[in-house]
Amino acid sequence: MVEIALDALEKYIDDVLAEKYKKLRKVGKKMLDEIGQNLRMVSDEIDAMGKRVNPDKDDILNRSLARFVSAIQGELKKAEFTTKDQIKHADLKKVFDFLSGFFNVYNETGKKFGPKLGEQFKTELKMLQASMIRIFKQNGDLDRFIRTKYAKAKDAEQLVEKISRIDELVKKYQEDRKKITNLSGSIEKLKAELSSLENQLVALENDPLVSEEQHLFHEENRLKQEIQMELSKIKKSAKKFEKALETGSIEPRYIAKKDIKDYLKNLFESLIADGPEYPKLHAILENLSGSLDEEIQLKDDKKEKAQDIITAIKDKNSLTPMITSYLKAIENRKEIAKRIQEKGTAEKIATIKQRISDVNVQKAHAEADLAHEKENVVNSLNKMKAAKEALEKDVQAESGEKVTILLAL
């Protein structure tokens, strides 16, 4: 078994293929050398024709000759022949592709300027054509050689390309691992910052003023619920009273219909605006109480209960203590809030809460990115393993030796 590092694998494959396809490559090299020799003959013939251009004469013959020579010489400069003994498929294909293009240029140029060169260059054109025919035949032979005899060697040479693919996967794996390390570090820093911010927030919220403000806020809500509970007890009879007003069966005293309608639209807010003595509600309840006997139809037990509740609110001012306490709680809470504002605690709390929100968003994004990068690492490893095993199998088929590729992860 042979263990080979990835960066040394290309040389190992090249050495194996150099030995295995030595004779075949020698044949290919000979073909390229012979083509190159004939191309040099063409180049010499074209150069000789170029020397016969008379720069002092501007006639059709000289112009045609100059353009013909220039076009062929320009194309010949594109020819590339390897000097290495160990040729590869790429060297063979490069020459074949060049010649295919060269023939097109030669034929087009010959058609355009050949007839204008006349009898003066008949011999030169004939020699040039003979050389081109030889090269054309050689290119045909080269094409068949590439497609048939060299096909297996070509496939073997392409194994080197698979090294690049594995190398890319290794680099991507390493980059993804680095991203995971960086993201993990960032997440830990964000967690530490969150812990610090939360501790700061707890310390600020434990401020006696803040605790008092929260207590008053809860007290305010408790009183509001108590008031709303009491008002709900007259809600049904108030709705029937309002409907009776709309139908005109009741004409209220002491207060206009519109004022009653506006008041009942949002009973709690209207009551608080009315104040602890609630004079408007007194007027409404006076009318409501008087209409329970005739205009508003309720069962006797419910009518009696409604009258008791109305009496308590209207005559005994049962809501007054609750309204007074509610308004006092609001006033006290505003005063505490003002002191907190002056102290800067509220602003600091708001700033820290916003920062906590921002850091949580950053942390969530970083955690999502981390999960994504971990998936990338797993995918890269799986692809790397599959590509490595496939290449090991292919290299073994060429070398006859069991090969293990070592990856630097």
Annotated domain spans of the chain: 2-157, 159-401
CA angle 197, 198, 203 (to 5 degrees): 100
Three-state DSSP at 239 gives: helix
CA within 13 Å, CB half, 287: 22
Higher pLDDT, 299 or 205: 205
Inter-residue contact 183 to 368 (CB < 8 Å): no
* Distance separating alpha carbons of residues 294 and 252, to the nearest angstrom: 14
Buried/exposed 235-270: b ≥16 CB within 10 Å, e otherwise: eebbebbbebbeeeebebeebeeeebeebbeebeeb
Give the residue ranges of DSSP H helices in 21-84.
22-50, 60-76
> In whole angstroms, what is the distance from residue 350 CA to residue 145 CA?
80
Q: What is the pLDDT of residue 293?
A: 60
How confident is the prediction for the chain on average, in pLDDT?
87
pLDDT number for residue 299: 55
Statement: residue 15 has pLDDT above 70: yes
pLDDT digits (tens, 9 = 90+) for 119-132: 788 888 889 999 99
The pLDDT, as a whole number, for residue 294 is 59
The model's pLDDT over 334-390, given as tens digits with 9 standing for 90+, comes to: 988 888 777 777 788 889 999 999 999 999 999 999 999 999 999 999 999 999 899
- Reduced to 3 states (helix: H, G, I; strand: E, B; else coil), residue 405 is strand
Q: Which residue has tokens 């203590």?
A: 321
Average pLDDT over residues 320-340: 89
For residue range 93-118, list pLDDT tens digits in order: 999 999 999 999 999 988 888 887 87
Does position 138 have pLDDT exceeding 90, yes or no? yes
Q: Look at residue 243 and tell me whether its pLDDT is greater than 70.
A: yes
Residue 33 confidence (pLDDT) above 70: yes
* Res 302: pLDDT: 62
Digit-coded pLDDT (tens) for 182-239: 999 999 999 999 999 999 888 877 777 777 888 888 999 999 999 888 888 888 778 8
Q: What angle do CA 400, 404, 406 make, to 5 degrees?
A: 145
Average pLDDT over residues 25-46: 92
Report the alpha-carbon distance of residue 209 to residue 222 in Å, rounded.
Answer: 20
Q: What is the pTM of this model?
A: 0.51
What is the reported pLDDT for 36?
92
Determine whether 161 is exposed, middle or buried from the number of CB atoms within 10 Å of its CB (0-12, 13-18, 19+): exposed
Over its C-alpha atoms, the chain yields an Rg (Å, rounded) of 50
